[in-house]
Structure 1
Amino acid sequence: ILVIGGEESKNDESLYKKIVEATHLYDIDRHSYIAVIGGGAVIDMVGFAAAISHRGIRLIRIPTTVLSQNDSAVGVKNSVNLFGKKNYLGTFTPPYAVLNDFNFLKTLDDRDWRSGISEAIKVALIKDLSFFTWIEDHAASLAARDMTPMKELIIRCARMHLDHISGKDPFEFGSSRPLDFGHWAAHKLEHLSDFRIRHGEAVAIGIALDSTYSYLKGWISEDDLSRIIAVFKTLGFELFAPELGGDNLIKGLKEFQEHLGGQLTIMLLKDLGKGEEVHEMNHELIWKSVDLLKNFNKEENLVNS
Structure 2
Amino acid sequence: MSDTDKQIKNPDNKTFKAYRQSFDVRFEYPVHFTHQVFDFDNPLLESVLDRLNEQKCHRCIVFIDSNVAETHPEIIKKIESYFQAREKKIELACQPCIMPADKKSGWDIVHNIVSVIKENHLDRQSFVIAVGGGSVLDIVGFACSIVHRGLRLLRLPTTTLAQADAGIGVKNGMDTSYMKNFIGTFAPPFAVINDFDFLSTLSFEDWTAGIAEAFKVAIIKDADFFDYLCTNGDALRQRDISVMTEAIYRCAMIHLEHIRTSGDAFEFGSARPLDFGHWAAHKIETISDYQIGHGQAVAIGIAIDSFYAMRQGLINQAQLQRITEGLIRCGLDVYNEIISKRTAAGELTILEGLRQFQEHLGGELTVTLPKNIGAKIEVNNIDSDIIEEAVQYLQGICKQGSD
TM-score clears 0.5 = yes
* 1:254 counterpart residue number: 355
The code of the aligned residue for 2:139 comes to: M
* 1:203 counterpart residue number: 298
Give the Å deviation of 1:11.
3.8
* 2:286 counterpart residue number: 191
1:128 and 2:222 are equivalent in the alignment: yes
Give the Å deviation of 1:13.
2.0
Give the 3 Å change call, closer, same or farther, for CA 10–46 of structure 1 in structure 2.
farther
* 2:268 counterpart residue number: 173
Give the Å deviation of 1:79.
0.9
Does the aligned pair in 2 maintain the 1:75–1:94 contact within 8 Å? yes
SS at match of 1:150: helix
Which consecutive segments of 4 or more residues in structure 1 shift more than 4 A? none
SS at match of 1:78: coil
Q: Show structure 2 runs of 5+ residues with no match.
A: 1-96
Q: What is the alpha-carbon distance in structure 2 between the residues aligned to residue 121 and residue 264 of structure 1?
A: 23
* 2:364 counterpart residue number: 263
The code of the aligned residue for 2:288 comes to: S
TM norm structure 2: 0.73
Q: Show structure 1 runs of 5+ residues with no match.
A: none
Does the aligned pair in 2 maintain the 1:10–1:45 contact within 8 Å? no
The code of the aligned residue for 2:98 comes to: L
* 2:378 counterpart residue number: 277
Q: Deviations over 1:204-224 (max 9, x none)?
A: 000001001111222211111
TM norm structure 1: 0.96
Q: What is the alpha-carbon distance in structure 1 between the residues aligned to residue 273 and residue 230 of structure 2?
A: 22
Does the aligned pair in 2 maintain the 1:190–1:202 contact within 8 Å? yes
Q: Deviations over 1:222-272 (max 9, x none)?
A: 111110111111112121122212232111100000000010000111111
Of the three residues 280, 288, 294, the one matched with 2:395 is 294
Structure-to-structure mapping, 1:53-68, within 5 angstroms:
53-68=147-162
The code of the aligned residue for 1:104 comes to: F
* 2:128 counterpart residue number: 34
* 1:142 counterpart residue number: 236
Give the Å deviation of 1:24.
1.1
Q: What is the alpha-carbon distance in structure 2 between the residues aligned to residue 230 and residue 89 of structure 1?
A: 35
Does the aligned pair in 1 maintain the 2:128–2:153 contact within 8 Å? yes
Does the aligned pair in 1 maintain the 2:110–2:139 contact within 8 Å? yes
Higher-Rg structure is 2
Does the aligned pair in 2 maintain the 1:40–1:73 contact within 8 Å? yes
* 2:194 counterpart residue number: 100
* 1:76 counterpart residue number: 170
Give the Å deviation of 1:75.
0.3
SS at match of 2:174: strand
Identity %: 45
The code of the aligned residue for 1:166 comes to: R
* 1:109 counterpart residue number: 203
Instruction: Output the aligned Cα RMSD.
Output: 1.4
Aligned length: 300
The code of the aligned residue for 2:137 comes to: I
Give the Å deviation of 1:300.
5.1
